[in-house]
A = this chain, B = another copy of it.
Amino acid sequence: MLAEIISIGNELLNGSTVNTNAAFIAQRLHECGMETGWMQTVGDKPDAIKKAIGLAIKRADNIIMTGGLGPTHDDVTKTTLARYFYVDLEFNETVYKRIKDRFDKRGIPMPEENRVQAMIPCTADLMLNTVGSAPGLIFRSKKKLIFVMPGVPHEMREMLNKSVIPILMQECVDCQISVHIFRTTGIAESVIYQKIKKDLQQFSEYEVAFLPKVTGVDLRIIRRGTENKNSEKFEKFKNILYNAIGNYIYTSENLPLEAVLGKLLENNKLKIGVAESLTGGLVQDRLTNIPGSSTYFMGGIVSYSNEAKVKLLSVKRDTLAKNGAVSEEVAKEMAMGVRSVFHSDIGVSTTGIAGPTGATPQKPVGLVYIGLSYGSQTIAQKYQFADNREVNKMRSAQAALELVRKSILGLDI
């Protein structure tokens, strides 16, 4: 089953937006055993859109389109498709009500412009948009399916996972596939490869991909067809993997680290408080992305000034004067301080030089200390990152969450 992805939008053609949608769709299809044969990107122009569909219908089995479903004059995807398939647009009461409800909920009168989003090509099936106003559309042409989704990434992702993929999976007979994600942090891609390279040879039927991100490397293993059922062999693979790099794998369930840590805190009935300097709130932002995090996350302090470190976290003036704010000692006192303020079981802290300014010969940009106070112990771990400000913050926040995870599990740090 070969798919074609058509991305629509002038913002893509002038380069102001990177086409992450196409990669996301292709990756999800790939994980489900379906391949993408071609991608096209065209502007918000009826003629270009028509030609793109014409070409795709000739060569692909299914077509996935995104973009141009908004309420303004430059959104022409829907009307173009209606013309292409010779169908009329009809006013859809249900869709209209859903859009109006969205505005009502926010207490805003619905602008007349949004009314056009309720005009639906009469032969098209609808896909629910749970996070935006424009519904998705499905056209059929000689057994081929043409999916049309909004271009707003979070709307598209939701719709792809909830509607497009399940529908395609029903149609695809030999899409027997299983995908396993092992997420690591604190270990380089090349080091992982070095450690498992030799063993990988006995699993040549597995498709193993290394997906590096700023916060760590994901390993994606795809098993297809009959091999998919050989669970004994996969158990062997997992054993080898965990023996080699198990310490660095924080999940095999494709969850973010804050979700893994959240479960761990909840299951162990542990409460946590956070003191942040260079990460500026990012550690807490991530912890609170998890629903129900208020049961284990008590709160925290962003002590961006020395004064705040002293006053709110009881860091000693003397410690600051002797070692500077970016030091093992201050990281430790911050962790102890925040633990005491929030009466929590765990206190974790970050301090470092985010850059681009603030470095000294002894303390370069990217130097970071993470403090941890838990049980009878308070430690601080040193890291040297070497990136720009935002990336240094992201790596530090990840390192802080990981340090807490390892400590709770009693793993080597």
Contacts and interface: CB of A to CB of B under 8 A. Distances in A.
Interface stretch (A68-76, A167-175, A241-249): A68-76
Interface stretch (A185-193, A232-240, A371-379, A401-409): A185-193
Contacts of A314: none
Contacts of A36: 13-15
B14 A112 contact: no
A255 interface: no
A134 to B, nearest CB: 11
A408 to B, nearest CB: 20
Contacts of A163: none
Contacts of A194: 111-113
- How many copies of this chain? 2
A212 interface: yes
A35 interface: yes
Nearest to A42: B38
Contact of A214 (B20, B154, B210, B389): B154
Contacts of A189: 70-72
Interface in A123-168: 131, 152, 154
Contact of A386 (B102, B356, B388): B102
A17 B214 contact: no
Contacts of A393: 285, 288-289
A269 to B, nearest CB: 16
Interface in A343-391: 354-357, 364, 366, 384-391
A193 B72 contact: yes
B48 A38 contact: yes
A72 B210 contact: yes
Interface in A285-306: 285, 287-289, 291-294, 297-305
Contacts of A20: 18
A221 B388 CA distance: 30
A252 interface: no
A209 interface: yes
Given A71-B189, A193-B113, A210-B74, A385 B106 contact: yes
B40 A27 contact: no
Given A131-B391, A281-B281, A389-B289, A15 B43 contact: no
A284 B274 CA distance: 14
Interface in A240-293: 274, 276, 278-285, 287-289, 291-293
A393 B15 CA distance: 27
A118 interface: no
A10 B389 contact: no
Contact of A300 (B106, B112, B281): B281
B357 A292 contact: yes
Contacts of A389: 289, 291
A17 B211 contact: yes
A285 B291 CA distance: 19
B16 A19 contact: no
Interface string A74-115: 100000000000000000000000000010011110011110
Going nearest first, the 9 A-B pairs with the smallest beta carbon separation are A280-B288, A15-B27, A281-B281, A15-B26, A281-B284, A39-B41, A113-B190, A281-B285, A111-B190
Interface of A: 10-20, 22-30, 35-43, 48, 55, 70-74, 102, 105-108, 111-114, 131, 152, 154, 188-191, 193-194, 207, 209-212, 214, 220, 222, 274, 276, 278-285, 287-289, 291-294, 297-305, 307-308, 311-312, 341-342, 354-357, 364, 366, 384-391, 393
